[in-house]
Amino acid sequence: MIGYKSMESQRVLIAAGSTFMRIMLETALKRLGFEVVGTAKDGAKAVASYKELKPDILLVDVSLPGTDGIEVTRIISNENPSAVVIMLIDESTDNPTIIVDAVRAGASGYMRKPISAEEIESSIQSATMKAGR
């Protein structure tokens, strides 16, 4: 595929309110060969970091403090329709409208927390292929 970036060369920004979640995701992504270009603990920082760092992929927690993950996705997708945004959703969330809202906002995919390294790799691969990257 022309323009396809290998998993190892992809730059990822992590946006999650939980310090544990940010560290866990960063560790797993680095082990998988991704370059983690930054982390954000709230919605405003996620949007600012995305604009500044221009990552290939944004992992964003739906329950991000401040501007929530769906609104962050909407803002970023409106400015960059080809953005690859993967929503992180709590496993206990039994509300399918969250997934629908995330996709309508521009999410390329989603993962349910807790997340394994295999799920991270699979979800990113699927979302980037959908985006043609």
1 within a domain of the structure (yes/no): no
End-to-end CA distance of the chain: 8
- Per-residue pLDDT of the chain (133 residues), as tens digits, is 334 455 558 999 999 999 999 999 999 999 999 999 999 999 999 999 999 999 999 999 999 999 999 999 999 999 999 999 999 998 777 778 998 999 999 999 999 888 888 888 899 988 888 877 6
pTM of the model: 0.89
66 within a domain of the structure (yes/no): yes
Number of domains forming the structure of the chain: 1
65 within a domain of the structure (yes/no): yes
Number of H helices, E strands in the chain: 5, 5
- The amino acid sitting at 44 is A
Q: Which domain holds residue 44?
A: 7-128
Which CATH number characterizes residue 112's domain?
3.40.50.2300
